[in-house]
Structure 1
Amino acid sequence: MAVAELATWVQRAWLEMGEPKIRSVLYRQGKRHVCAAQEVQPTVGRLPIRRGGTYLITGGAGGLGLVFAEHLARQHAAKLVLIGRSELDESRQRQLQALEALGAEVMYVQADVSDLQAMRSAVQQAGDRFGAIDGVLHAAGVVDTRDIMDKTAAEFKVALQTKIDGTLVLEEVLEDQPLGFVCYFSSSSAVLGDFGMCDYAVGNRFLMAYARVRNERIAQGLATGHTVAIAWPLWNDGGMQVGGQDQTQAYLQSSGQRALEVAEGVGLFESLISQPLPQVLVMAGVRERVKRMLGMTPAILDLAEAGSDHEDGVSEDESVDVSSTDQPGQARRPEMRGFTIEQCVMWDLKDQASGLLNLPRDQLDADENLDQFGFDSISLTRLAQALSRHFGVDIKPVVFFSAPTLAQLRDHLLNTHPVQLKSLYSVGVPRRERAVPARRSERQADSASMPVARALALPKTTPSPAKVADAEDPIAIIGMSG
């Protein structure tokens, strides 16, 4: 990259950092494109699935791949080519037999979808047995739940291979097939993020972008099979989860979502592969809360517009003056006399939470999920900010999904920042005066003032305006425009 070009990008990045709104932005040929989310009512066309057709499913031995294999077997008596990395053991043999009992013809090929030669062989075997392939479901995926900071570059690349390399390999080995459709199983993480893993979101974001690119190639006569990337939410069965059951439930409730039921997802699938949009996001839950999370309602304001005098969204009377940690014991209050460090941390966690929620601290059970007290994704973000200022450490909202109770949060802080907390609560040093948190009615910034997510996908054309849906409709289909 030339020095002048690098200087241009540095200037652009600097200007974007100064923008009052947090957005996903693309620069193409010098033009700035801003992403947006819009609810849509897909225009459903002819279903591109034929009875007795041959369909290749990556990740077909489990998870969502198996869910949709069962659907194609039951509803369309399909010929199924299931691709998986695992050996065909006794358990998988029983799965194949169950699919055949539903009316399907099934073959399983052990192969890594990112391995070009292995996939060439798999397609050849499929052709020898079933003939041409009529459609593709790319449902394979690898999840490394560790934080990005705990991964090497090589480990990061491994997690991308299934989504990115696998997609490109499929494009090459299926270029001569008369495909009726190609469906990439993406994830809402492509839009909402992936709790610090990063690689999972990047891989799924690639699928959404490539679906548009592939449809452009189809329009040029260079490929076949209308392509759609479906960014699925969490499923009740068959999909990715956020840690354990408690963490998953905390994430869903705090964001206004719920897990998608299998019957709902399978029903949506045929509609979504029959409509013209190249990429859609499926969200199940409380419609207005989901739309607010995506920045789709006027109630979403940016921090600069929220009436707060502080960039981090915590007003002055909400903060605790402990930002400097060079004075040992400054966080130990007189009422903490005789407390252990663990008890001190819990006291302050309850104090911060009760101040934000305007609830008496004795109503906050340390073992109860935070969402049960009334926390949602926005107020959890504010809690993370308040705790960061109080403890003098960097606390991200994502921590509440792995530590959804005050007790788990206390243990996380003690394990992650032992030296910092020991210094804050050292015995024998008077604590500096603490500002009393303002109650909700006194705060300048409204609780709905902080956007928590932005849409990332960038299709070329803007989706048609959404048909107004009933407020009780539990599922929203979101198109991405920019």
Structure 2
Amino acid sequence: DISYFSFDLGEVSRQTPELISSMFKELSKGFEDRSLKPMEHKVFSIRESASAFRYMAQAKHIGKIVISTQDIPLIRADAAYLITGGMGALGLKVAEWMVDEGARNLVLMGRKSPSDETARIIEQLSDSGAQITVANGDVSSESDMKAIFEKIQPSLKGIIHAAGVLDDAMIPDQTPERFEQVMMPKVAGAWNLHQLTEDKDLDFFVMFSSAASIIGNSGQSNYAAANAFLDALAHFRHNKGLPATSINWGHWADIGMAASQRNRGSRLEGQGIRGIKTENGLAILKKILYEKPVQICVLDIDWQTYLSSIPVQTAFFSQLVRTEEIRQPEIIDKLRQTAIEQRSGILLEVIREFAGKVMGYEASLQVNVREPLMDQGFDSLMAVELRNRLSQIIGKTLPVSLLFDYPTLEKIRDFILIEVLDMNEDRQIKVEEK
């Protein structure tokens, strides 16, 4: 039988104060000899109040949930943290920042041994008092990850998954091998990290995703798909009551994969997507670690310029810029107001200027108007970008095969002027045989 009695402890203490005193003495002995221990509890800082209430609403906790008015250190000296892709430029910057924030036990993971410059940075971090462990392995390999996790000491409290590779190509040029190369570190790697830490009490599980999975990017169908998995995994973990954040980063200005590739940064700048400065990115990362959103996009972008650089507007962007704010093509009016015999030269210079910007040339005169662009270093991604830019400035959608059908700037000029804009009514443009 089980009996239930209610009583007023306050009333008991007033009537028999000696009983309460003896009980406290008995409890004190239990705390002193450690036979009694504090009940289970999980502490959230005051700035994490929203996360604390969400955690409580899931009803999966044991013990008490405590909100502390004292700022709980974001990075703890008595914990270990794992950074995949930790020996890349971005991973190293995150490692330096974490050490500055108080981390004293970092595991930097990568497939290759540290370069001389990387080794120098690691040595500087060690000299500052941090224990830096270099772990060679493939994050997509479950056996490699199990071996690394077995060696992590002290308790692992946080993960930054920054591993990734690029292998850009337009969809007709994509292959299963290219998809696999890009997907493995993102998809298989993140899933390994999830499964191996599912039973661990982590403070954070952060995945470096990309804005490509939000707004797309020419030639990056495989990369966008891989990062979309990270976004979905963050929501999956969150629904299971596990910490997870997917950050859809734009490109970093001075470090990272975009910065290491020729002309990529300048080409994105031309679309209104500015590079994230390192100090700004790390400050945002700190804010994200405190606020713990499930998914967040960090992008330094001029939406008007960006929307002006893509040929087709979608409903996805409809609330960002009003239709009337998008710059309308001015070249059409300029051509119509220009003498017929001068139109050809004006349009050619406009096209050559855009071709030069796509190729990263400081002076558009470096682009030969009579030589096939593919012979001058153009690739399929550049072809798509030039086609998109030209489509925007003339206000008409040009064919995807533009550069293959019209390989030189002069032939592109003639196609646009005659076939697209229909500006040859008053005269027959004679195309010289070159």
Q: Answer whether TM exceeds 0.5 for this pair.
A: yes
- Using a 3 Å threshold, how does the CA distance of structure 1 residues 290 and 384 change in structure 2: closer, same or farther? closer
Structure index of larger Rg? 2
Q: For 1:330-357, what per-residue CA distance to the aligned partner results, in whole angstroms no more than 9, with x for missing partners?
A: xxxx979xxxxxxx9x875436799xxx
Asked if 1 retains the 8 angstrom alpha-carbon contact of 2:104 and 2:131, the reply is: yes
Q: 1:119 aligns with which of 123, 140, 145?
A: 145
Q: For 1:236-278, what per-residue CA distance to the aligned partner results, in whole angstroms no more than 9, with x for missing partners?
A: 2222217855442232243x33211111111111111222421
**Counterparts of residues 193-232 of structure 1 (less than 5 Å):** 193-218=216-241, 224=242, 226-232=243-249
- SS for the counterpart of 2:246 is strand
Q: 1:266 aligns with which of 264, 276, 282?
A: 282
| Map of 1:169 onto structure 2 | 192
TM-score, length-scaled by structure 1: 0.55
- SS for the counterpart of 1:273 is helix
| Map of 2:371 onto structure 1 | none
| Map of 1:72 onto structure 2 | 98
CA displacement at 1:209 relative to structure 2: 1.7
| Map of 2:77 onto structure 1 | 51
- SS for the counterpart of 2:299 is strand
Q: 2:182 aligns with which of 156, 159, 165?
A: 159
Q: Distance in 1 between matches of 2:244 and 2:407?
A: 53
- Using a 3 Å threshold, how does the CA distance of structure 1 residues 230 and 352 change in structure 2: closer, same or farther? same
- Using a 3 Å threshold, how does the CA distance of structure 1 residues 422 and 239 change in structure 2: closer, same or farther? closer
TM-score, length-scaled by structure 2: 0.61
- Using a 3 Å threshold, how does the CA distance of structure 1 residues 147 and 178 change in structure 2: closer, same or farther? same
| Map of 2:422 onto structure 1 | 435
Asked if 1 retains the 8 angstrom alpha-carbon contact of 2:391 and 2:398, the reply is: no
* 2:258 is the counterpart of 1:241: yes
* 2:301 is the counterpart of 1:278: no
CA displacement at 1:87 relative to structure 2: 2.2
**Counterparts of residues 37-116 of structure 1 (less than 5 Å):** 48-88=74-114, 90-116=116-142
| Map of 1:406 onto structure 2 | none
CA displacement at 1:366 relative to structure 2: 4.3
Asked if 1 retains the 8 angstrom alpha-carbon contact of 2:348 and 2:413, the reply is: no
- SS for the counterpart of 2:182 is helix
CA displacement at 1:173 relative to structure 2: 1.8
Q: Number of aligned pairs?
A: 315
Q: For 1:47-95, what per-residue CA distance to the aligned partner results, in whole angstroms no more than 9, with x for missing partners?
A: 6432342100000011211110111112213300111000245444323
| Map of 1:350 onto structure 2 | 349
| Structure 1 unmatched runs, 5+ | 1-41, 219-223, 307-312, 321-333, 337-343, 355-363, 369-374, 396-412, 438-482
- Using a 3 Å threshold, how does the CA distance of structure 1 residues 209 and 434 change in structure 2: closer, same or farther? closer
Q: Distance in 1 between matches of 2:197 and 2:421?
A: 66
* 2:398 is the counterpart of 1:388: yes
CA displacement at 1:146 relative to structure 2: 3.0
Q: Distance in 1 between matches of 2:229 and 2:96?
A: 27
- Using a 3 Å threshold, how does the CA distance of structure 1 residues 193 and 47 change in structure 2: closer, same or farther? farther
CA displacement at 1:116 relative to structure 2: 0.2
1:164 alignment partner AA = V
Q: Distance in 2 between matches of 1:95 and 1:351?
A: 46
Q: Distance in 1 between matches of 2:228 and 2:420?
A: 47
Query: Among the aligned pairs, what percent are the same residue?
Result: 24
Q: For 1:108-161, what per-residue CA distance to the aligned partner results, in whole angstroms no more than 9, with x for missing partners?
A: 1111000000100011111xxx22200000000011133332232122122101
2:108 alignment partner AA = L
Asked if 1 retains the 8 angstrom alpha-carbon contact of 2:113 and 2:136, the reply is: yes
Q: Distance in 2 between matches of 1:86 and 1:136?
A: 19
Asked if 1 retains the 8 angstrom alpha-carbon contact of 2:265 and 2:275, the reply is: no
Asked if 2 retains the 8 angstrom alpha-carbon contact of 1:352 and 1:387, the reply is: no
CA displacement at 1:281 relative to structure 2: 0.5
Asked if 1 retains the 8 angstrom alpha-carbon contact of 2:352 and 2:365, the reply is: no
- Using a 3 Å threshold, how does the CA distance of structure 1 residues 435 and 243 change in structure 2: closer, same or farther? farther
- Using a 3 Å threshold, how does the CA distance of structure 1 residues 295 and 242 change in structure 2: closer, same or farther? farther
| Structure 2 unmatched runs, 5+ | 1-47, 52-71, 354-362, 368-384, 425-434
**Counterparts of residues 295-306 of structure 1 (less than 5 Å):** 295-297=318-320, 299-300=322-323
Q: CA RMSD in A?
A: 4.4
- Using a 3 Å threshold, how does the CA distance of structure 1 residues 190 and 94 change in structure 2: closer, same or farther? same
- Using a 3 Å threshold, how does the CA distance of structure 1 residues 302 and 353 change in structure 2: closer, same or farther? farther
1:80 alignment partner AA = L
2:150 alignment partner AA = Q
* 2:194 is the counterpart of 1:187: no
Q: Distance in 1 between matches of 2:407 and 2:306?
A: 39
